[in-house]
Chains A and B, each alone.
Chain A
């Protein structure tokens, strides 16, 4: 399959809808496309690493050329030169291939940008796919660059002007491909059958819905009327606020959120600690919404009223 079906947007997440990747186990995976900015920065970092390595190799080459006296040493110098030439070539050609064919499916640059390459249809990413997508890279990146900077280097001086224009337009077109399709495929991705997705490192944090021993004072109790105001989006926004902790930096946000919730649900009793009030409200609200969810009534946000 080519274009992955689109899963519903998770509540409260802006940006692209995620792509669903079918699995043999039957649970589609929800993957977010890498943005072009992420991919560009990953590529630039990779290019930087490659060019730096090349520079070091070239410097070695120059020293190999200078060092040693004529005659006897020149043979071993030639071998060294050969090794460096081939080394340079392999570093440039196989850098992307070796890293992307590895278990992480990502070059150092991609790992830094927290993105990776996967097979577009959810199968294993094979070596030949990785080779194809990276062989295309030259045509997509360097050729347009040369066309823009020094067209005569590519076409030679004898090529008629119109041919240069046609080739230039085509090179630019290929370069701009990722902007023009919804899966942000570059030519190499199309031919390789690959997709570049985000792979952030998500830590499993404490469950805010479970009771805690650290609390002080009586738990706040909410009536079911008071829990009927919000949906999942608001719940998860509250979660994000609570995850930032009970510290001084977060105090203002906690107070603001607590005040607006109290106003909305009609809470009149005096509250000694806004943070624990919110923790209790979060737990109660989540219990309420998850109970409804179990009954098949998913409420996405406060204006979404299922079953009414």
Chain B
């Protein structure tokens, strides 16, 4: 070649000179997108973003084939990965996302878990029944099922009046009630999510935790029944209990599902099957946080202000009905 400036003839140099402007433009759009979201871009800019993204990928592909400039290659790899992640996201707003979640994803994830839910319920009911029967048979068994800090002074030694006091003591202080409700909410959500995550140990700890919760409930119901306060106890526990126990059982069911995915991968590889189950579990985890929130609200405020057992039972029944309809009917195709 007779050219006096061989450098400018380098294809990789020419390639970069031609395309650099579009990479810079993409970088700028990505900066806006990452810091202030897709909404800050106009339609024209979004279209341009898509074009520039494809151009960057094509540049990357060419650069891999023709260029040996390490900095250029690193830059393009990084730019392409960054724009890939920024572009391949669900572009919906928070409101649309919530709508999709509650009108479709959450109820159908729960329906997909119906067998696991049945098993969790069985364990829970079994725990409740055993503890109930054993406690009514011999009151001293109560201590085996309910730990001291949960019992809060309620034990076989308590008189009927003391027990009744807890069921029907109106609290005047609204602020303290909300504080109590928020504590219950955080505590229960923590336990629920733990039970879900423990599903990773083949689901065994989730089952144990659920059984244990059943024992605790049974211990209390046994104690109250023995003192002739059985119906009052259930009227006290069920208004929030329906939501709370259901949420707890859902966590356990999702935990079972994880364990199942780990043990019995079926046609998938173990990692794939875990991933499939995990997606469901994530949906359930989000949904139960809201359920615990509702339960905490009922428990912290409603239960302490409404004392009529009939009203309490009505509320319990209607929450049960509402959840039943929601999980079986909503979001079916």
Contacts and interface: CB of A to CB of B under 8 A. Distances in A.
B178 A118 contact: no
Contacts, number: 232
Interface stretch (B128-136, B217-225, B268-276, B309-317): B268-276
Contacts of B279: 126, 128-129, 132, 193
Interface in A1-41: 1-3, 10, 12, 21, 23-25, 27, 29-31
A202 B81 contact: no
Interface string B74-114: 11011111101110111000000100000001000000000
B20 interface: yes
B68 A236 contact: yes
**Chain B interface residue bracket vs A:** 35 or more
A239 B175 CA distance: 68
A105 interface: yes
B217 to A, nearest CB: 18
Contacts of B5: 211
B138 interface: no
A300 to B, nearest CB: 11
B23 A86 contact: no
Contact of B176 (A74, A193, A293): A74
Interface in B276-333: 277-283, 285-286, 289
Interface of A is mostly: helix
A79 B173 CA distance: 10
Max chain A C-beta neighbours (<10 A), residue from B9, B17, B34, B274: B274
A183 B90 CA distance: 25
Contacts of A30: 77, 81
A209 interface: yes
A12 B183 CA distance: 56
B66 A293 contact: yes
A164 to B, nearest CB: 13
Interface string B41-63: 00000000000001001101100
Contact of B71 (A78, A123, A205, A210): A205
Nearest to B276: A193
A128 B81 contact: no
A167 B198 CA distance: 11
Contact of B34 (A83, A104, A236): A104
B275 A286 contact: no
Given A191-B277, A286-B68, A86 B186 contact: yes
Interface of A: 1-3, 10, 12, 21, 23-25, 27, 29-31, 74-83, 85-86, 88-89, 93, 103-105, 116, 118, 120, 122-133, 135-136, 138-139, 156, 167, 170, 174, 185, 187, 190-193, 197, 199-205, 207-211, 232, 235-236, 239-240, 243, 283-284, 286-287, 289-290, 293-294
